[in-house]
Structure 1
Amino acid sequence: MKTILASSFARLAIGAGAAALAGAVLLYWAGRPSGATFIDPANQDLVVRGKAIYANACAACHGAELQGQPGWRERLANGRLPAPPHDRTGHTWHHPDAVLFDLVKNGLVGGRTAPPGYESDMPAFGGTLSDEQIVAVLAYIKSTWPSDARRMQKEVTEQQRR
């Protein structure tokens, strides 16, 4: 009788542990920011919407052709850097999607998406663009990259998600 009770208790404990683990995983995935998943540049609906949003919200600084501002690697007199390009010549594709999403939504934040104390002219768009609009802009930007840059950026995104 003790063996049967011990065996039943062990199965119950294992089942409860598995349920708790599944719940924790579900809470982790549900609590992630909406920009944390892979943003698919092959989604043409997103790309078309993102192109229009980019033209209105981003092109003034980053260029209509995603070329960035001239001298984007050289500090200005105020110590800040000009807007970088988002085409293949820039470094945007070196960052995972969650970081890109955070940069657009919250701007460059020292200690999180920039070195501590770093100042930038990059505004936070979280108050003017919805999460879905930010994802669309990023899908558009990514759609313009050559296949090798898209592949490398996807790998960086997947590595961060592990």
Structure 2
Amino acid sequence: MSKGVPGGASADPLRGAALYAENCASCHGAKLEGQPDWQTPDADGVLPAPPHDRTGHTWHHGDGLLFDYTKLGGEEMLKRMGVSGVKSGMPGFADSLTDQDIRDILAFIKNSWPERERAIQRQRTEAEHQAGN
């Protein structure tokens, strides 16, 4: 996993908004609202795209996991985490987005959260760093 990559350089949430619109909004929604029934797998067993606003679970994860999940994709991350039985529709963006692009998109998403969710997410990021991830 990427150690400290997300916070390693300054991120530009305004640039991230444009990149989000181009690369993420088609699945996660223009307003970060996610797909309907995002917690219920579809007929193929794939979970729909979750919201990235405060109603979803994105803010429950540290920067390292969010960065790697975006870069590598859901299937690869679930495999690396030892999670089985869950299918992910999240593609990896390593071939189409730079590390800076990903940092900027995550900054845009994080800027949408209320302070309470941001504070919890910062704690999760710090815990990742302390664990060496």
Q: Determine if the alignment matches structure 1 residue 104 to structure 2 residue 46.
A: no
Aligned pair count reads 127
Higher relative contact order (Cα pairs below 8 Å, separated by 6+ residues) = 2
Q: Describe the superposition over 1:37-87 as per-residue Cα deviations: whole angstroms up to 9, x where unpaired.
A: 3787xx6xx010000000000000000000000000111000111000000
Give unpaired runs (5+ residues) of structure 1: 1-30
Task: Give the stretch that moved more between structures: 142-151 or 104-113.
Answer: 104-113
Structure with greater Cα Rg? 1
TM-score, normalised with respect to structure 2: 0.88
Q: Distance in 2 between matches of 1:74 and 1:39?
A: 36
Deviation of 1:113 (Å): 4.8
CA pair 38-113 structure 1, distance change in 2 beyond 3 A? farther
RMSD: 1.9
Equivalence for 2:38: 72
The answer to which structure has the higher helix fraction is 1
Q: 1:159 Cα deviation (Å)?
A: 1.1
Write the distance in 2 (CA, Å) between the matches of 1:140 and 1:116: 30
Q: Provide the TM-score with structure 1 as the length reference.
A: 0.73
Equivalent residue of 1:128, what SS?
coil
AA of the residue aligned to 1:58: C
Q: CA deviation at 1:32?
A: 3.2
Identity of aligned residues (%): 46
Question: Does the 8 Å CA contact 1:39/1:138 hold for their aligned counterparts?
Answer: no
Change (3 A) 1:104 1:156: same
- Residue ranges of structure 2 left out of the alignment (5+ in a row): none
